[in-house]
Amino acid sequence: VGTTSSSDSRGRILGEAAEKAIAQVTTQLTAAGPKLSAMRAVVPDVSAVIADISGNEVTLNKGGQAGFRPGMILSIERVIKQIKDPSTGKVLRVQTQKIGRLQLTEVDAQSSVGKILAGKGGIKVGDRAKAAE
């Protein structure tokens, strides 16, 4: 009366194999935890442009698709000089001056919103923001 079908046996074997695999992955992740937590977060190497300022709140033209995320600290910079190739007119370098800092509070795919942490007076639409931390 205690017959076991081959499908029951296969199911039991697969279940045991899955449990072993999960245990191995859990052990490996636990061991790697200190290394993973010590790694610096990837900071996007992209500049956004300030699209709007309302009081202490700044809206940027870049968002999650550019690598921005809530909590990120950005340096606000003003372009002070563009160095162009005299032959082609192509911009070779852009020199900027740091004028403030902001922390992102909201991020969607295409835009970000942040609170100004420093430099409230001179920040204006068209200034740039890039990840600082």
Q: What are phi and psi of 125, to 5 degrees?
A: -55, 135
Which of 8-12, 40-44, 87-91 shows the lowest per-residue confidence on average (mean pLDDT)?
A: 40-44
- Cα–Cα distance, 73 to 114 (Å, whole number): 9
- Cα–Cα distance, 122 to 99 (Å, whole number): 7
79: nearest Cα among 67, 64, 91? 91
Two structure tokens written together for 75: 């340096």
Average pLDDT of span 59-78:
92
Domain 47-131 in this protein, CATH class: mainly beta
Give residue 41's pLDDT.
56
Confidence of residue 121 (pLDDT cuts 50, 70, 90): low
Confidence of residue 110 (pLDDT cuts 50, 70, 90): very high
- Cα–Cα distance, 26 to 28 (Å, whole number): 5
User: Could you tell me the residue ranges of all domains in the chain?
Assistant: 1-39, 47-131
130: nearest Cα among 57, 55, 79? 79
Confidence of residue 1 (pLDDT cuts 50, 70, 90): low
Q: CB within 8 A of 25, min separation 6: which ones? A: none
Q: CB within 8 A of 33, min separation 6: which ones? A: none
* Residue 31, pLDDT above cutoff 90: no
Mean per-residue pLDDT over the chain, rounded: 86
Give residue 43's pLDDT.
60
